[in-house]
Structure 1
Amino acid sequence: MPRLFTALEIPARVAADLSMLRGGLSGARWIDAENYHITLRFIGDVDDAMAHDVAMTLAGVRRPSMTVELDRLDSFGGDKPRALIVKARADSALTELQAEHERLLRRLGAAPEPRKFVPHVTLARLRGAPSSAVAAYLGTRGYFPPLRFEAASFVLYSSRDSVGGGPYIVEAEYSLRGKAAAA
Structure 2
Amino acid sequence: MVPVAGGRAGASLALRNLKFQISNLKLAASDFIRAFVAVSVPAELKAAIAKTQRQLQNRAGTNAIRWTAEAQWHLTLKFYGNVASEQVPALTGALRAACQPIRPFSISLGGVGCFPSWQKPGAIWIGVGGDITALETLQKDVEQRTAGFGSHSEKRDFHPHLTVGRVKGSACDTRAAGQAFRDQHIPDLGEWEVREIELIQSTLSPRGSSYQALGVFSLGRTCV
Q: TM tier, shorter chain?
A: 0.7 to 0.9
What secondary structure is seen at the aligned counterpart in 2 of 1:160?
A: strand
Q: In the alignment, what sits opposite 1:70?
A: 109
1:146 Cα offset (Å): 4.7
1:178 Cα offset (Å): 3.0
What does 1:138-157 correspond to in 2, within 5 Å? 138-139=182-183, 141-157=184-200
* TM-score (norm. length: structure 2): 0.72
1:77 Cα offset (Å): 2.4
1:172 maps onto 2:215 in alignment = yes
Distance 1:164 1:52, change over 3 A: farther
Contact 1:102–1:113 under 8 Å retained in 2: no
What secondary structure is seen at the aligned counterpart in 2 of 1:118?
A: coil
**Which blocks of at least 5 consecutive residues in structure 1 are unaligned?**
none
* TM-score (norm. length: structure 1): 0.86
The counterpart of 2:136, out of the listed 81, 95, 110, is 95
Counterpart Cα distance in 1 of 2:189 and 2:50: 14
Q: In the alignment, what sits opposite 1:36?
A: 73
Counterpart Cα distance in 2 of 1:51 and 1:80: 37
**1:123 partner letter:** V
**Moved runs in structure 1, 4+ residues, more than 6 A?**
none
Contact 1:43–1:110 under 8 Å retained in 2: yes
1:111 Cα offset (Å): 6.0
Greater relative contact order, per chain length (Cα 8 Å cut-off, separation 6+) = 1
Equivalences, count: 179
Q: In the alignment, what sits opposite 1:84?
A: 124
**Which blocks of at least 5 consecutive residues in structure 2 are unaligned?**
1-31
Counterpart Cα distance in 2 of 1:122 and 1:35: 8
Higher mean C-alpha displacement, 31-40 vs 52-61: 52-61
1:134 maps onto 2:178 in alignment = yes
Distance 1:108 1:4, change over 3 A: closer
1:161 Cα offset (Å): 3.1
Contact 2:197–2:217 under 8 Å retained in 1: yes
1:110 Cα offset (Å): 6.5
Distance 1:18 1:114, change over 3 A: same
Counterpart Cα distance in 2 of 1:71 and 1:45: 32
Question: What is the aligned-residue RMSD (CA, Å)?
Answer: 2.4
Counterpart Cα distance in 1 of 2:156 and 2:176: 26
1:106 Cα offset (Å): 1.6
Contact 1:29–1:126 under 8 Å retained in 2: yes
Contact 1:73–1:85 under 8 Å retained in 2: yes
**Structure with more of its chain in helix, by fraction:** 2
Q: In terms of Rg, which structure is larger? A: 2
Higher mean C-alpha displacement, 114-123 vs 101-110: 101-110
Counterpart Cα distance in 2 of 1:66 and 1:166: 29
Contact 1:102–1:112 under 8 Å retained in 2: no
Contact 1:16–1:33 under 8 Å retained in 2: no
Counterpart Cα distance in 1 of 2:95 and 2:194: 16
What secondary structure is seen at the aligned counterpart in 1 of 2:147?
A: helix
